[in-house]
Amino acid sequence: MNISPTLTKELAKHGIAYDIISHDHANSSLHAANSAHIPSAKMVKPVILEDDLGYVMALVPANQYVKINKLNMILNRNMGLATEADLNNVFPDCELGAIPPVGDAYGMFTVVDYDLDECDDVYIEAGNHTDLLHLSGSGFRELVKHSRHANIGMH
């Protein structure tokens, strides 16, 4: 599969330049960062949560976990991890487990960890298991400018 058309359209809409970095097949954001020899703290990991109100995309560095309880308190919700089977319909142009961290493009409310706001450049999944996109920090901040920002990650 190629780069997600939804992601490509979103990057073009915002005029964001990027480089494509190919790597060996990887099944997680952390594995992709290791395979591509990039710092895991600059790899954006999307974690999809859900409850009766719908889905939320939480973005943290690949070397961190989402503090789900804290996120639930911030949003006054009771979310748990979405199953990959549920996400096939939400991300139809992506390979399972290779979701780009662009919630707005998929109509999904997004919360970004503060650590990602500090990055001078970031790497994101391209919608497949063998390509990453390298973006400037300012480009990434443009993509997530309508998102909520909070301290939601932990090592």
CA nearest 153: which of 86, 66, 45? 66
Determine what percent of the chain falls in helix, strand and coil, rounding each to the nearest 5: 35, 30, 35
pLDDT band of residue 97 (cuts 50, 70, 90) is confident
Chain segment 116-129, per-residue pLDDT in tens: 999 999 999 999 99
1 pLDDT above the threshold of 60: no
Question: For 5-154, which CATH class?
Answer: alpha beta
Collapsed DSSP state (helix, strand, coil) of residue 43: strand
Domain range list for the chain: 5-154
The pTM of this model reads 0.96
Transcribe 116-153 into DSSP letters: HHT-SEEEEE-SSSSEEEEEEHHHHHHHTTTSEEE--E
